[in-house]
Every structure is written in C-alpha cells, then in structure tokens.
Structure 1
Amino acid sequence: MTDRGNQNGRRRHGAGWWLAAPLLLAVTVVVACRAADTDALTPVPQFLAFLPWLLVPTVAGLLLALLARWWTGLVWAVALLGLLAWFIEPYGKSRRPDGPPLASVRVLTSNVEFGHAAGALAAAVRRERPDLVFVQECEQTCDAVLRRELGRAYPHRVADVAAGSHGSVLLSRFPLTPAEGVDGTMAMPGAVADVRGRPVRLQLAHPMPPLPGRTGPWHRELGRLRDLAAGRGRTPLVLAGDFNASQDHAAFRRILDTGLGDAARLGGHDRTPSWPVRTAPPFGAQIDHVLLSRDFSVRAARFLDLPGTDHRALLADLTLHGRPG
C-alpha cells in the first residue's frame, strides 16, 4: 500500500509539473515583452491587450506547482504574480495644468461598428450633449443618420465617409477648420477647433487592429499618431478614438510619453474595459481612449453602453486651461 501510494503521489506530482510549466512559460514570454517595452510579434500583442487576465493562468500554475511540490515552479509563479501586479498599476502620472480655467469641454468617442449603432449614438449625443463627438466606422448610412439627427445641433463637421470600417466623422459645437489628418488604412481626419478664441487641435484615432500575423500596419499607424502628438508644439490637443491598443502595448505608451494624459485614467477608470462589449466590463480591454495635452484637466469620465456596437463609448468632461501668466 505504501509503495502504491508513493507511485500515485509521484504521478500526481509529475502531472502537476507538466501542466504548470507550459502555463508559466507562456505567461513569462508575455511579461518579458512587457518588461522589455516591446510588443514583439503575434501572439504577444494580442495577449498584452488582456494582461491583467494573465493572473488566472499564473495562479493556476502556482496551485499546480504547489500540488506537485515543485518548489522552483512555486517561486517562478510568485515572481510572475509580482511582475503582473506591478504592470497592472496605471501607466502615466496625474498632472494638473498651471493656467486658469478657460472653458468646459465635453468629449464623446464611439466606434459604431460599421454604422450599426449610429441611431443609438445619436440618442446618446442628444442626452449627454457633448461638445465634440469622434465617430469611428461610420459609413454612408451612419453619416446620413448623424446629419439628419444631429446636423442642427452640430453644424461643424469634418468627415471622411467610406464603406465598412473605414469611415470616420468628427462633429463639433465649436467652429472647425479642417487640418491634415493622419494617414492610415482607416480614415483618421483632423481639425482645429476655436474654443473661446483658443485653437485646439483635434485628431481622430483609428489605427488598424493588431491582426494575427499582420501587426505591421498597427505599429506604423500608432507610430504616426505618436509623431503627430510629439510635433504638436504648444497647441492644445485632443486625440480620441479607437486605438486598438491598451496601456500594456508599447506602441500606445510611446504616444503617452509625448506628454499626453489618458482621460479615463485621470478620471479614475484606468482599467475599465471598453471592448468587446459582449464580455465587458467583467472581461475585456480598454482600447478606446481620449488623450489630452497638459492644457486640459479631467473632471469626470465614464463609459456608455450603446446597442449595436462591440465597443463602449467614452464620455469625458474636461476643462481647458489658459496659459499661465
């Protein structure tokens, strides 16, 4: 009985080792890329989007290592948990503008998924009354709905309407001057708004998603958004839309490193998922953002559920500050 019990114990320990090691190894690859500040290649960018959820396989690996009495694996799992906890902390620091308050600005960004949620977006805009509306995946039918439902309240617009996911529209209560947008597979138009006599650069973001095996366009288009943010000079900037990237992607953090702040982060919702809506908020990734230059402070931010789209809309209440002195 003793020998048979020892054999059964060894089998359990061996099975625990063989199950724990692949789990911990997979998580280690993703965490190592996060630590090295690289998005690497497929499937790392896809896993990085859901970095907090890697706690689940890590804890499973820890329990299996404990069951197998595999002490090296146990230490490995504890180290991974510590690194994950470190990286899950919000990226970027809070900051306050130095100048006096100049104007309140409410911003709404929404990916309407091939235009399916255009009607729901129009209803939300009438209810929430944002000053600026950034709309992604707005095709011809969506554009017609927005013109009909919101044209009077939002007389200023910059649009690049196209089929499928390629169209984008920017609506404003403030006077707009068209500006050169960012080149991308999907439309990313830009404009300059006149906010109480102060020019504010507006840029819609909708880079390609990091499709498996095709992350090149995603990297390049996020890089172009980074270049725009870095070259803005002293002009206030609102960069908003579906970035197809979270704070755990190095390409997105490089945009923040130009001095921009994330409105959801500054409004206390740094890890609130915005996609996919079928599993958010319990499970998902925050890939819809409103990014701001230091001229803005954030009073509040919240996510809205709109029927017809796989993204949650983001509403941010901002204050534009004048220059100090």
Structure 2
Amino acid sequence: MRLFWLLNLASGFLILATLLPLWRREVWWVRGWDFPRLQLAWLAGVLLLLQIALLDITSTLGLGLIFATAACLGYQLWWIFPYTPLARREVLSSDTCDERNSLAMLTANVLTTNRQAARFLALVDEMSPDIVVTLESDAWWQDQLDALEPRYPHTLKCPLDNLYGMHVYSRLPLHDAQVDYLVEKDVPSMHAMVELRSKQYVRVHFLHPAPPSPTENEASSERDAELIMVAKSLDGYRKPVVVTGDLNDVAWSETTRLFRKISGLLDPRVGRGMYNTYHAGLPLVRWPLDHLFHSEHFTVRSLRRLAPFGSDHFALYGKLVLDSRYVGEQDGLESDKDDEAWAEEKLAQENVDPSDVPVPRV
C-alpha cells in the first residue's frame, strides 16, 4: 500500500512539473520547470517501468496513471530530442580548415567567488580561442585575466561585484565595441564588430541577463525582454552574426526558441548534443545554460564543453567557419504571427525598444 501511494505521489509530481511550463506565467516557480526536462524524462521512464510492473493494469486508475506517465515522457522527450545526436543537424560541419575565415570563441561563467583562475587560464592556453568571454568576472578576475592582454590586446571590460561583471579579450580587432545596459541598470551586455583575418566582419553580442529566481528576479520578464530585444534588432539583418553568453535559459525553452525564431539564428547543438554547462559540480542536475548562436553564414568546425575549472559552469568552446557556400541551405526555426505578437508582448512588459540595442559598425 505504501509503495502504491509513493507511485501515485511521484506521478502527481511528474504531471504537475510537466504541465506547469504550459502556463505562460513568468514567475520563477513556473519558468523554473523549463530547465530539468532531461531529469523529468528520466523520472518518467523509471516511473513507467515501475507502474507497468507493480500496478493493476486492468484497473482504470492503474491504466490512467500509466497513460499519463507515458504522455509526460513523450512530451519531455519532444523538447530534448533535437539536442541529441539522433536529430538532424541544424548546422553543417565545416569541411575546411580556413583559418582566415574562422572564429573560435571560449565563453565561460567563471563564478565570482571562484579563485582558481590559473585553471581557467590553462584552458585558454590549451584551446587558444580567438575571443575569450567571461561572465561573473569582478575586479579580482580582471586582474587575473589581464595576463591575456599580450596575446589578446583588444578588450572590453566591465568588472562588477554583483555577479554580472563581463569581460572580452580578443586577438582579433574589435570595432565600435561598447558596453550597454539594455533592460536592467546593473546588468551589462557587450556589442562589437569582429574583424576576421580575411578582413571579413562579424557582428557579435555578448549577453548575460538575470535569471528568474527567488533570490534575483522573481519573474523572467527582464531576461526575456533582453533576449527579444537583441533578436528583434537582428530581424532582417543579412550579414554574419554571433550571439554568445550565459543566457540563464535552457536551449529547449519556449523563450530561447522564440529568440531563435525572431532572430533567425541557428543553434549548432541541434543534432550534436546538449552540451550541458551547468551545474559543473552536480552531475545529476545539469542543463545547457551557456549558448553560442550564429547566422547561416557559418558552419561548425568544433563544439566542445571543456574541463571543469572551479566554477559552477563548464566553459563552452566553439569554432565557426565563415562559408558563403551554405547560405540558404541551413534552416533554423521560423516565426509566425503568434510568435511576433508574443515577442512584442514581452518587450512591452519591460517598456524596451529593440532600437536601443547597439548596432556595431565599421
């Protein structure tokens, strides 16, 4: 009898956790259930096996629980399937080693309280990216990161002690580089035009919006507005673009999908894997929070989650190759009228305008 009630309780929890994100309320205790879809899928799978083995499948209640659990499993798998190697790749793999048109980026939330900078700098040495992007980097981290300047002379620095400091170190020239505060006065973003070795230019945006949580923003509206502002600023832009950072949103959430639909950017993880970058210290509680999106002008040479370095995030490394041969052959998500209306609603909630997003120029 106790096992029966435990199965009922677990099934009720699973059904509630699956249904809550369908409610478009932006409060943290609703939006938080966008994150653990992989974990909920595992829970549904285990529960389904136990129910089939232990419940009376001839009873209405037993059969109903099995059906509900199977539906939850299928629904969660629908969201995460694109981020498995079984799905079709959204971005083609590069068949060239054209260094003149390549752009390698290492993005890492270093964790402000983490003091293992030497391990992080060793990762930079190992991967030798063209651009290093750090989030949560304060003045102490800036002192450590400045050791990169002889090799990465082009920089943007915004040291903060509120968990939203941000730094960019680049060996490639950064044109019209600037720091801006798109939605919240203490949450910066960075924007620039990167000049590749081939003299081609790539528009880049580095983001780290605040998450919905009981300790920060109670709702996701600020995060969502920042993502949609940038997405709308890219709508109709037909030149190479890269957006990277810790977006405090998972790859499979409705908001991230909306960002991709409005911006037209591609996700190189689709068909390759989840690349779960958070939480580095808790293997059973991981999801993809750090992102690398790009326009159809690029193919992927390499995409890797790097070794831990003391932060609660893993660093994400991506090497893209600018290749005009495949423009028009790589398809992402497309928006419809409902998406456009939802995007406008999110902007109106925070009273922000996409025209306020810096458009770097050369």
1:180 CA displacement: 5.5
Of residues 243, 246, 250, the one that matches 1:246 is 250
Give the equivalent residue in structure 2 for 1:226: 228
Whether 1:275 aligns to 2:278 is yes
Give the 3 Å change call, closer, same or farther, for CA 278–156 of structure 1 in structure 2: same
Give the equivalent residue in structure 2 for 1:142: 141
Provide the TM-score with structure 2 as the length reference: 0.75
Whether 1:44 aligns to 2:43 is no
Q: Computing the radius of gyration over CA atoms, which structure comes out larger, 1 or 2?
A: 1
Q: For 2:180 and 2:295, locate their aligned partners in 1 and report how far apart those are by CA, in whole Å.
A: 17
List alignment gaps of at least 5 residues for structure 1.
1-11
8 Å Cα contact 2:300/2:321 also seen in 1 = yes
Amino acid at match of 1:109: T
Whether 1:23 aligns to 2:10 is yes
List alignment gaps of at least 5 residues for structure 2.
57-61, 329-362
Give the equivalent residue in structure 1 for 2:70: 78
Give the 3-state SS of the residue equivalent to 1:289 in structure 2: strand
Amino acid at match of 1:279: L
Q: For 1:214 and 1:141, locate their aligned partners in 2 and report how far apart those are by CA, in whole Å.
A: 23
Give the 3-state SS of the residue equivalent to 1:170 in structure 2: strand
Amino acid at match of 1:73: L
Q: For 1:57 and 1:109, locate their aligned partners in 2 and report how far apart those are by CA, in whole Å.
A: 31
8 Å Cα contact 2:297/2:324 also seen in 1 = yes
1:16-40 deviations in Å (ceiling 9; x for gaps): 5533333223322332345x48465
Identity level (%) = 24
Q: Output the aligned Cα RMSD.
A: 2.9
Give the 3 Å change call, closer, same or farther, for CA 95–110 of structure 1 in structure 2: closer
Give the 3 Å change call, closer, same or farther, for CA 33–193 of structure 1 in structure 2: same
8 Å Cα contact 1:182/1:190 also seen in 2 = no
Q: For 2:76 and 2:281, locate their aligned partners in 1 and report how far apart those are by CA, in whole Å.
A: 25
8 Å Cα contact 2:105/2:131 also seen in 1 = yes
Give the 3 Å change call, closer, same or farther, for CA 223–278 of structure 1 in structure 2: same
Q: For 1:126 and 1:30, locate their aligned partners in 2 and report how far apart those are by CA, in whole Å.
A: 42
What count of residue pairs does the alignment treat as equivalent? 306
Q: For 2:194 and 2:125, locate their aligned partners in 1 and report how far apart those are by CA, in whole Å.
A: 21
Provide the TM-score with structure 1 as the length reference: 0.83
8 Å Cα contact 2:91/2:300 also seen in 1 = no
Give the equivalent residue in structure 2 for 1:5: none
Give the 3 Å change call, closer, same or farther, for CA 44–94 of structure 1 in structure 2: same
Q: For 1:285 and 1:311, locate their aligned partners in 2 and report how far apart those are by CA, in whole Å.
A: 10
Of residues 77, 87, 90, the one that matches 1:94 is 90
1:293 CA displacement: 1.4
1:149-202 deviations in Å (ceiling 9; x for gaps): 211100101111112412101111111121464524432222111223332111
Give the equivalent residue in structure 1 for 2:352: none
Q: For 1:241 and 1:117, locate their aligned partners in 2 and report how far apart those are by CA, in whole Å.
A: 20
Give the 3 Å change call, closer, same or farther, for CA 82–166 of structure 1 in structure 2: closer
8 Å Cα contact 2:158/2:167 also seen in 1 = yes
Amino acid at match of 2:315: A
1:319 CA displacement: 0.4
Q: For 1:276 and 1:78, locate their aligned partners in 2 and report how far apart those are by CA, in whole Å.
A: 28
Q: For 1:182 and 1:24, locate their aligned partners in 2 and report how far apart those are by CA, in whole Å.
A: 43
Amino acid at match of 1:265: V
1:219-261 deviations in Å (ceiling 9; x for gaps): 3233222221332222322111111111232222211222112
Give the 3-state SS of the residue equivalent to 2:119 in structure 1: helix
Amino acid at match of 1:208: A
1:137 CA displacement: 0.8
1:38-75 deviations in Å (ceiling 9; x for gaps): 46534232232111111343245432475242221122
Give the 3 Å change call, closer, same or farther, for CA 215–152 of structure 1 in structure 2: same
Give the 3 Å change call, closer, same or farther, for CA 288–262 of structure 1 in structure 2: same
Amino acid at match of 1:201: R
Q: For 1:231 and 1:42, locate their aligned partners in 2 and report how far apart those are by CA, in whole Å.
A: 26
Give the 3-state SS of the residue equivalent to 2:168 in structure 1: strand
Give the equivalent residue in structure 2 for 1:210: 212
Whether 1:194 aligns to 2:195 is yes
Amino acid at match of 1:55: A
Whether 1:163 aligns to 2:155 is no
Q: For 1:27 and 1:193, locate their aligned partners in 2 and report how far apart those are by CA, in whole Å.
A: 46
Q: For 2:322 and 2:42, locate their aligned partners in 1 and report how far apart those are by CA, in whole Å.
A: 41
